């Protein structure tokens, strides 16, 4: 195995393959779009159930905070069920406002444990529902506020209420579980630790009278239980795949957003998880969704596809066979920068595939698009992913394709990145790209019987070797060795030949006693 074959094998393994089911792809962390910190996904974590009315003549009365002690006193001390129900409802309306609900003030009254007890009263659906709504909205607050509720041992109660005969109670209970799960991975795992909890939540999809609201909330909750790094234990949440796959066929934007996020979470593991996703036959629909009008649908759909193409070459080809490249190409000019970054990530993983897959990208006209992104965008992460995509194409491509890339100006593209001494990874892949280009140039020169490496001569004229030479004292040993290899193998050899030719020309000029005009 040659030097370049060994390097290519090692590089592809590091670039595309998954280290273990517990870890994300090797470059997902470097790419800096972390699942647990995505702005969009932060929005998905918790939802307050707001009290609204469409009838201006029937405005909902929200009591002032001054009345809270009296309301609490009735709940704690009265034996009148009607009054307790009315006061509970008023406290619920106080919590169901969009801005600054009085969560701490209500907790401080000591009334919250009463609402937990009301959840257990199977003879009073109204109190169950109102109490579930109150507790769910408290859990939209801070971690301390959510922890207070969780420590009252409400999780198993909410899980049991999923068997209720009342759909409103079911919906509010699953909503509460979603807000608890969205607070932290600890609470997510706590919910999943209860026997059969996830299956009970999935069973909501089978309700005979399921409406759009329950469907939306359940999809959001199931997605929430799958999200986060480290990932939820796959064996516990795997069954959600088929539900997300079916929900992708829907047309409502909210359902599509949550279903696609769910698919992206469940495919962010090992190769088997990618195969499981592919087996649902939802991939063509997910590819279709990257052309959706809503960026909030495009992003999770694109991330799901990105997960697939980080798999092996067969899995990558499955995505390509879904006519991926046509809608993907349009995303490079999308107004949303995050979508451009995700599109570059997807492309960089495809160019880490087989030679035929790289050729498909080149023939698809993506190279000029990448050149344009590097030269015109000011977003570093977009430039960086574009450089990765190009470097992968050089390393893994057929010699004929590398020749085309050189003719298209790829040698000039990597040069500015050699001057970014602090960017180790970009320095390395730029130098490796030049190494592969020079190896192809050496083959061409030997086949054509030329004295010098035509690409070495080209890089010399472009000033690339000068920039490479300045890295001779680079602090990283890998970079230093690569620079030494390039200089010794190509540059110094070229320099010697050029000097010999110049000396021969001078001797000939002196012998012929003639001037040579440049």
pLDDT digits (tens, 9 = 90+) for 148-177: 999 999 999 999 999 999 999 999 999 999
Check residue 512 and give its pLDDT. Answer: 43
- Please provide the average confidence, as pLDDT, over all residues in the chain: 87
Residue 240 has pLDDT above 90, yes or no: yes
The domain defined by 404-506 carries CATH number 1.25.10.10: yes
Average pLDDT of the residues in 370-379: 93
Average pLDDT of the residues in 239-267: 96
pLDDT digits (tens, 9 = 90+) for 117-139: 999 999 999 999 999 999 999 99
Contact 185, 227 (CB under 8 A): no
The answer to which of 68-82, 127-141, 261-275, 445-459 has the lowest mean pLDDT is 445-459
Check residue 98 and give its pLDDT. Answer: 82
Residues 6+ apart with CB under 8 A from 314: none
Residue 15 confidence class, pLDDT cut points 50, 70, 90: low
**Cα(341)–Cα(50) distance, rounded to whole angstroms?**
35
Check residue 451 and give its pLDDT. Answer: 79
**Cα(166)–Cα(209) distance, rounded to whole angstroms?**
10
Residue 62 has pLDDT above 90, yes or no: no
Check residue 48 and give its pLDDT. Answer: 85
**Cα(310)–Cα(325) distance, rounded to whole angstroms?**
16
Residue 402 has pLDDT above 70, yes or no: yes
Contact 137, 101 (CB under 8 A): yes
Average pLDDT of the residues in 468-486: 92
CA 9 to mean position of chain CA atoms: 26
Higher per-residue confidence, 439 vs 512: 439
Average pLDDT of the residues in 173-187: 96
Average pLDDT of the residues in 368-382: 93
The domain defined by 238-397 carries CATH number 1.25.10.10: yes
Average pLDDT of the residues in 366-390: 94
Would you put residue 89 in left (φ > 0), alpha (ψ -120 to 50) or beta?
alpha
Higher per-residue confidence, 330 vs 41: 330
CA neighbor of 289 nearest in space, from 266, 261, 321? 261
Residue 7 confidence class, pLDDT cut points 50, 70, 90: low
Contact 92, 172 (CB under 8 A): no
The answer to which of 71-75, 412-416, 493-497 has the lowest mean pLDDT is 493-497
Domain boundaries in the chain? 22-211, 238-397, 404-506
Distance between terminal CA atoms of the chain? 45
**Cis omega (within 30 of 0) on the bond before 515?**
no
Check residue 3 and give its pLDDT. Answer: 53
Check residue 300 and give its pLDDT. Answer: 97
Quick one: CATH architecture of 22-211? Alpha Horseshoe (1.25)
Average pLDDT of the residues in 390-412: 96
State percent of the chain over pLDDT 90: 75
Average pLDDT of the residues in 354-374: 96
Torsion of CA 92, 130, 193, 108, to 10 degrees: 40
**Cα(134)–Cα(307) distance, rounded to whole angstroms?**
38
Residue 460 confidence class, pLDDT cut points 50, 70, 90: very high
Could you tell me where the beta strands, DSSP code E, fall in 157-212?
none
Check residue 43 and give its pLDDT. Answer: 43
Residue 227 has pLDDT above 60, yes or no: yes
Instruction: Decide: helix, strand or coil at residue 48.
Output: coil
Residue 40 has pLDDT above 70, yes or no: no
Average pLDDT of the residues in 278-304: 97
Task: Output the DSSP codes for 402-462.
Answer: HHHHHHHTHHHHHGGGGG-TT-HHHHHHHHHHHHHHHHHHHHHHHHHT-SS-HHHHHHHHH
The answer to which of 28-32, 397-401, 420-424, 462-466 has the lowest mean pLDDT is 28-32
State percent of the chain over pLDDT 70: 85
Residue 245: Cβ-neighbour burial (10 angstroms; 0-12, 13-18, 19+): buried
- Asked if domains 22-211 and 238-397 share a fold, the reply is yes
Residue 53 has pLDDT above 60, yes or no: no
What the block records as the tokens of 437 is 């280009």
Check residue 200 and give its pLDDT. Answer: 97
The answer to which of 47-51, 215-219, 482-486, 494-498 has the lowest mean pLDDT is 494-498
Residue 51 has pLDDT above 80, yes or no: no
Higher per-residue confidence, 133 vs 229: 133
Check residue 60 and give its pLDDT. Answer: 73
């Amino acid at each position: 195995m040659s030097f370049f074959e060994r390097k290519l094998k090692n590089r592809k393994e590091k670039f595309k393959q998954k280290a273990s089911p517990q870890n994300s792809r090797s470059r997902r962390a470097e790419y800096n779009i972390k699942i647990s910190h995505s702005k969009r996904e932060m929005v998905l974590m918790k939802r307050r159930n707001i009290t609204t009315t469409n009838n201006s003549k029937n405005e909902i009365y929200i009591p002032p905070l001054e009345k809270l002690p009296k309301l609490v006193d009735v709940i704690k001390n009265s034996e009148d069920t009607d009054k307790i129900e009315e006061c509970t409802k008023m406290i619920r309306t106080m919590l169901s406002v969009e801005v600054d609900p009085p969560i701490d003030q209500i907790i401080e009254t000591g009334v919250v444990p009463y609402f937990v007890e009301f959840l257990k009263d199977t003879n009073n659906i109204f109190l169950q529902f109102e109490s579930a709504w109150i507790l769910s909205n408290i859990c939209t607050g801070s971690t301390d506020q959510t922890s207070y509720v969780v420590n009252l041992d409400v999780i198993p109660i909410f899980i049991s209420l999923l068997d209720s005969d009342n759909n409103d109670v079911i919906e509010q209970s699953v909503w509460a579980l979603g807000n608890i799960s969205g607070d932290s991975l600890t609470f997510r795992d706590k919910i999943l630790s209860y026997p059969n909890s996830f299956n009970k939540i999935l069973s909501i999809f089978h309700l005979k009278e399921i409406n759009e609201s329950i469907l939306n909330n359940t999809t959001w909750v199931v997605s929430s239980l799958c999200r986060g790094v480290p990932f939820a234990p796959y064996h516990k949440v795997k069954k959600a795949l088929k539900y997300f796959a079916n929900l992708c066929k829907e047309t409502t934007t909210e359902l599509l957003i949550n279903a696609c996020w769910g698919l992206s979470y469940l495919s962010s593991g090992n190769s088997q998880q990618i195969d499981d996703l592919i087996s649902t036959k939802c991939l063509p629909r997910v590819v279709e969704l990257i052309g959706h009008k809503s960026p909030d649908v495009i992003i999770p759909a694109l991330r799901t596809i990105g997960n697939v193409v980080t798999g092996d070459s067969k899995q990558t080809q499955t995505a390509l066979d879904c006519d991926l490249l046509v809608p993907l190409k349009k995303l490079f000019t999308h107004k949303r920068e995050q979508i451009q970054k995700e599109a570059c990530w997807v492309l960089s993983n495809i160019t880490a595939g087989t030679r035929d897959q790289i050729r498909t990208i080149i023939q698809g006209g993506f190279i000029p698009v990448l050149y344009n992104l590097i030269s015109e965008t000011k977003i570093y992460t977009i430039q960086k992913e574009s450089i990765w995509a190009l470097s992968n194409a050089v390393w893994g491509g057929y010699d004929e394709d590398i020749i085309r890339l050189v003719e298209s100006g790829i040698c000039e593209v990597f040069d500015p990145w050699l001057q970014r001494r602090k960017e180790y990874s970009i320095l390395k892949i730029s130098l490796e790209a030049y190494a592969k280009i020079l190896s192809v140039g050496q083959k061409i020169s030997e086949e054509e019987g030329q004295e010098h490496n035509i690409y070495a001569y080209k890089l010399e004229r472009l000033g690339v070797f000068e920039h490479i030479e300045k890295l001779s004292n680079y602090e990283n040993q890998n970079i230093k060795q690569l620079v030494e290899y390039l200089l010794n193998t190509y540059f110094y050899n070229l320099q010697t030949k050029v000097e010999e030719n110049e000396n021969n020309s001078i001797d000939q000029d002196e012998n012929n006693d003639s001037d040579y005009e440049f």
